[in-house]
Structure 1
Amino acid sequence: MKIPQIQITTNDIKMDWSIKDPVQRIHQPRAKQTISQPPAILEIHTTDSTLKIDSSQARSDIGMLTNKESIEKYAQAGKEGVLKGISRRVKEGYQMMNAAGKDQGRSVMQSIAKQNTGPKRPGPYNIKFVPSVGSVKIDYTPGTTDVNITRQEPKIDTQVNKPILEYTPGKVTGTMIQRPSVTIDVKS
């Protein structure tokens, strides 16, 4: 016995597609930015230093005197010289008075003359530092310097631009070239 067979034949659809791609353009304009830095504020305050040098004692030690000091020095030396002279003459007068009437007139005068003349031994020799140590007086007051710096913040101004978007959508169109079909045959 023969069983009939079913034969199925199919034809697929055939399409002709036309595809237009979408186009998207994105343009980002640069941001605008300005930066400025104000200068820092600098303040400097100073006080002057003072230096005082007193060399009057040193000048006096080496003989450089002011007019007033010179007059006073020589006036004092003159007074002392006069007093020494008076003292010497009084002493010599006492010597002559005590020797009077004792037949020593000539010998007293000779001894007084010897006292006032002849070699005199100079005073003691010693080293003297001129000017004397510590005769120059120095007084120094240091000055001060105060520095103040005030920092200034930078100024930053930024303007952000939005992106520019351009979009063209794509398009798909199709044309059917072959329609689908199903054919069924029964064969015995």
Structure 2
Amino acid sequence: MKLPQIQIKTEMAQIDIRQTPGQQTIRQPSADMSIEQPKAELRIDTTPGKLTIDQTQAWEDMQLISPLRMTEIAAEVGNSSVLEGIARRAEQGQQLMKIEQQVSPMVEQAITNSGETYTSPQITFIPSVFAVKVDYEPGELNILSKENKPQMTVQIRQPEHHYTPGKVEVALKRYESIKFAVSHLYSEVN
């Protein structure tokens, strides 16, 4: 004898998954930079040296004198000669007033007043030693410099970021199912 049988047929559900990946782009633009270097400022001040050569005394020693200077020298010599003459006469007058105290002041005065004493001839056209005066004032040099710092300008650029998010689509491709069947319902009896 055959007994009835129940047959169960099941089908699992199927899920359909479709995925679209996300897209991302990152770009970093270069920064804008400018550098400017101003020139340094330089200033140079110079004072030239000064050389002075005075040969007036050398020319006077060689008797090569300008007419103006010759007049000044003659006036100085004349003035000093007059003063010496006045002093000599005053002294000689004093000596004559005291004639009783001295032996013979007139003889001495006659010798003194007779003229200049003899001098040996000399070479007068060679200037004396150190007759030429030399003076030197050194020059000065002043250097002023000023450095100028570089001028930098930087403009930063932000990164460019683009992102497209991905998608996940989930769908039911097939529903689950259960089927029941009964077999051997009718059997032969022997």
TM-score class normalised by the smaller sequence: 0.3 to 0.5
- TM-score normalised by L of structure 1: 0.45
- TM-score normalised by L of structure 2: 0.44
